Chains A and B, each alone.
Chain A
Amino acid sequence: MAVIRVREPLKKLAGGQSEQAIDGTTVAELLRELERTHPAIGGWILDERGQVRRHINVFVNGERGEESTAVGADDRIDILPAISGG
């Protein structure tokens, strides 16, 4: 299983766990499974269209990923807020 890593405030919504081992073959599949396991996180990372929110970055083993990026069993996925704001 791949490992998804989140920070606050997502960590709290994910039951207080900063790391989750989740099954899936793409970033979108993993995030949907994360939402299914922890409904409180629904709408925080993916919007209603199933797209990663504009100012959230997904890294797969340190490289920028997107919804369709393939993931394997040993991959590490980091969910981080983008450097943005004012």
Chain B
Amino acid sequence: MSGDVLRFPAALESLSAAAGRRAAERALATPIADRPGRWRELRLEHPEVLLGVCELLTQRIESLPASVAEEGEFFYRFLGAPLRKIGEFDEREYFLGEFALLTGGAYRILFRREDARRWLDRAESNFVRAANASAHFARLAYQRLALAMEERRFEDVLELAPAWANSCRELGLLQESLKCRFLEGIACRETGYLERAAEVFEEIYEQALASESKLLAPVANNLAQVRRLQGDAEGALRFAGQALDLLKKADSQVGLVKLRWCVGDILREQGKIREAIEAYREAGREAESVGLRGDSAAIHLVLADSLLQAGQEAQAEWEVRAALPIIDEERMVPEGFAALSLLKESVRRRKIDRQALRSLHGYFRE
């Protein structure tokens, strides 16, 4: 064998972070169908561009989850092409992991749980070969906990969320730590530990306020819900008002759906049924436009219940009929199967079983 010096591959084109971000915006503005033929021009292999794309998709996930899922899947498939060289050292594995994580997170928000699980598994299989893998595993753990929450596996969340919150804090992932505690708060609320839930949310609220965290809005939203459940309508509306401003500022469509839903609940409990119906309708329209099928089904049911309360049986039946196909397609609320069957039967007889309806939408509340 000769003693020739081996050459490393040619250096990457130099690109500043700002130029990478501009190129990322341009890439995302290009229709997906046009990108494969223009990948060189769009610099889709450049790690600086990919970093910019990840940043932009992260910002958009709460307002455009369906688009983020589509984009994440595109970039994952593009980067995953055999022999495609991406950046330096571990960057290919890192970006594959990051795009899979974004895609999984977006599918989770969209309530496509099987897709979410598959993409989170893909993220894991790539992150394991990237530097600083433990931090990425912690981020992945948060997504899996959130998925457990969507599936109402509250015991799992109550056991694992505090442990992951500690691990994230030790890894220096303060936002992820707060997010895990946030899930703990929701699980407390859902299992009836309202005081504990209020304590957890108040702690997070203080920390989020101090660190100017994006979590402030959803925490305010959840404090509104807990106050409502504790019978403090005034406190609930105060937090809801704060949350509304923050969510609008952050353009969090997902958060606004949850908030309007919560406001509908508050108004209904105050006996303002007409206003409540309007709030639910607005929440339902937004859930549908964002692509939140799970929330959309649940809001149809709660709206049906409110319409029955207002004596509008025909409209209530229409709302139930709109919810049932989504519940069937997404195989939602397996634990509410009995209530679902009763409700279907009552719709067939055109006399809605209100008890079954209430049981069923109780299973949806996050």
B and A form one assembly: no
Residues of A within 8 A of B (CB): none
